[in-house]
Structure 1
Amino acid sequence: MDRVTTKGTSHAERVFRVQRAFISLGGGEHRLADIARAADLDDSTVSRILTSGTYDNTFVRAGRGRYQLGSSAADLGFHALTADNLSGDETQETLQALRRQTERSLVFLYGKAPLRIAGRQCLDMAVGDSDLAELGMTPRDVLTVTRSLRTGASGRTILAYLSEEIQQRVADSPVPAEAGPGVYRDAESLLASLGDIRDQGYALGYQECMTGWNSVAAPVMWDDTIMGAVLMLQPKDTMPKAPQSYIDATLTAAARLSRLGNLRPTAQ
């Protein structure tokens, strides 16, 4: 009989819990029942997540009722070899604290995408029971799609600390079709915004990635190297302009994640 749990009611959070279950179980293949137990979710929910994940190779069916992580998960693992402190309980606590301090906004942690120098990928989030469909994206988009640095406060924040060559390449690239009405459409204004981000230490986005949503983003830096960005989203009707308290809270979260990285163990 399937077990029932009330934890993790957001679909995106359930997907993350299944991914984390493989970490607690160790490498190799595992039975669906064991994965469900480790994720503290019912078998049918985990079965749907695993089946969906096989289409983009996040998970691989290793035999009847047995699964293992696939190459898409390996991409994240590759990134984690150099960014292992951008995961875990303390990171999630930081994102949840930011969500509370900004009236239960939607909070994401983006990192530089593995194997793609000019992209970003979601590493973690704090969205509560929110359905990401309201953002115009599916959980698969958030978890597996590498997104351009051409749009969005988090994308521009990461781009601001990359080389001028990369900045120019991204600025000259087409604006993604799914961008919101506030996107920087010409290269000159986009590049000028990067200087402002470096000067003030954060970015503001006004319906930049998605219609109807405004945002604040701040950089996560390790040893003066950009590793990612913390992003908080609020509906534009709720947050027509980001209050200073929201900006300060986002900066505090990014600074805490930066400290985690700077305290990471070094090779002996």
Structure 2
Amino acid sequence: MTSTISTVPGQRHDKPASAASKAFAVQQAFTRISATGSVHSLRGIAAAAGLDDATTHRILQTGVEDRTFEQVGRGRYRLGTGTALAGLQAMADAPSPASTHSTLVTLHEATGGLVLLYVLSPFGGAKRLCTDYAIGDTDPAEVGMTAEDVVSVSRSLRTGASGRVILAYLPQKIRDLVLAEDVPPTAGPGVIRCNERLADSLAEVRRLGFAIGRQECMLGWDSVAAPVFWQGSIMGSVLLLRPANDMPTDLRPMIYHTRKAAEEISQLTPAPMAPVA
């Protein structure tokens, strides 16, 4: 998908002054116009960066050499693998497993529920992966959790509270791709199949800062989930699971403890939390 847009409505960007700031402006321009596709024209990139075409062209060509950008055909560009590698290097400062696990254990002890930590995985399409959990002495098999539940159903961002709180803060382009996916056939009876209702639920997540799931991923299990941010970007979610017949009518304590855990994990890094537009 290509883009020939020349501006982004409703956004105003001052022209960068130094050479370094101009280079960063070009890289950030791809994020500003990402909703229109992954491949963009020179003119569209220049307009989003607030630069003239000649300056933008020089920066893009320099970036092609170190794989920050990739030229696709004549006069069209997209972000290159060098950008992803830089992101991986930055991940070295992410919260340690030991510090996050202690937060999950505290949430489990405070609520008596099963607690899972999901992280966003963009490789092979946006999805979520469970990287840690705190379930006490519970055997997942004894409560009906199978490998299929963990690997296939839980993977989709459109299925369950933990997926929806991640999806809510992703760029619109990625949200559209996820909404185009099929609902996993083994999802629970409460899964939101209508894309219009799902989109409405994402707006509600952004307004409230959490999501409630009623047997979305698995039959007989309700959930509360809250987003985890890292340096201002959505990176995952904390999920609290309890049997539907054991979930309290008053969910405020469950919501409070789940949000507190997610905020604590987010604050393990120095940058403040902020949703991605």
Deviations 1:60-118 (A, max 9, x none): xxxxxxxxxxxxxxxxxx9796265344222111000001111x210000000252341
Q: Which of the two has higher C-alpha Rg?
A: 2
Q: Distance in 2 between matches of 1:217 and 1:204?
A: 7
TM-score by length of 1: 0.63
Q: Which segment drifts farther, 170-179 or 152-161?
A: 170-179
Where does residue 166 of structure 1 map in the other structure? 174
How big is the shift at 1:170?
A: 1.2
Q: Distance in 2 between matches of 1:215 and 1:79?
A: 31
Q: 2:108 aligns with which of 71, 89, 99?
A: 99
Question: In structure 2, the residue corresponding to 1:183 is in which secondary structure?
Answer: coil
TM-score by length of 2: 0.61
| Structure 1 unaligned spans of 5+ | 1-77
| Structure 2 unaligned spans of 5+ | 1-86, 273-277
Where does residue 187 of structure 2 map in the other structure? 179
**Is 1:112 equivalent to 2:120 in the alignment?**
yes
Question: In structure 2, the residue corresponding to 1:237 is in which secondary structure?
Answer: helix
Q: Which segment drifts farther, 135-144 or 202-211?
A: 135-144
Q: Distance in 1 between matches of 2:89 and 2:242?
A: 29
Q: Distance in 2 between matches of 1:193 and 1:140?
A: 25
The list of structure 1 runs, each at least 4 consecutive aligned residues, that deviate by more than 3 angstroms after superposition, is: 78-81, 83-87, 134-146
* Two-structure CA RMSD over aligned residues (Å): 2.6
Where does residue 195 of structure 1 map in the other structure? 203
How big is the shift at 1:135?
A: 4.7
Report percent identity of matched pairs: 48
Q: Which segment drifts farther, 219-228 or 127-136?
A: 127-136
- Aligned partners of 2:232 and 2:271 also within 8 Å: no
**Is 1:123 equivalent to 2:131 in the alignment?**
yes
Q: Which segment drifts farther, 143-152 or 208-217?
A: 143-152
How many residues matched? 186
Code of the residue aligned with 1:245 in structure 2: it is P
Instruction: Note the 1:41-120 alignment, pairs <5 A.
Output: 82=91, 85-102=94-111, 104-113=112-121, 115-120=123-128
Where does residue 253 of structure 1 map in the other structure? 261
How big is the shift at 1:169?
A: 1.6
- Aligned partners of 1:96 and 1:126 also within 8 Å: yes
- Aligned partners of 2:161 and 2:212 also within 8 Å: yes
Code of the residue aligned with 1:97 in structure 2: it is T
Question: In structure 1, the residue corresponding to 2:245 is in which secondary structure?
Answer: coil
Instruction: Note the 1:152-163 alignment, pairs <5 A.
Output: 152-163=160-171
Q: Distance in 2 between matches of 1:116 and 1:199?
A: 29
Question: In structure 1, the residue corresponding to 2:216 is in which secondary structure?
Answer: coil
Q: Distance in 2 between matches of 1:122 and 1:174?
A: 21
Code of the residue aligned with 2:238 in structure 1: it is V
Code of the residue aligned with 2:104 in structure 1: it is L
C-alpha distance 85-145 of structure 1, shift in aligned 2 (>3 A): farther
Question: In structure 2, the residue corresponding to 1:262 is in which secondary structure?
Answer: coil
- Aligned partners of 1:150 and 1:175 also within 8 Å: yes
How big is the shift at 1:184?
A: 0.3
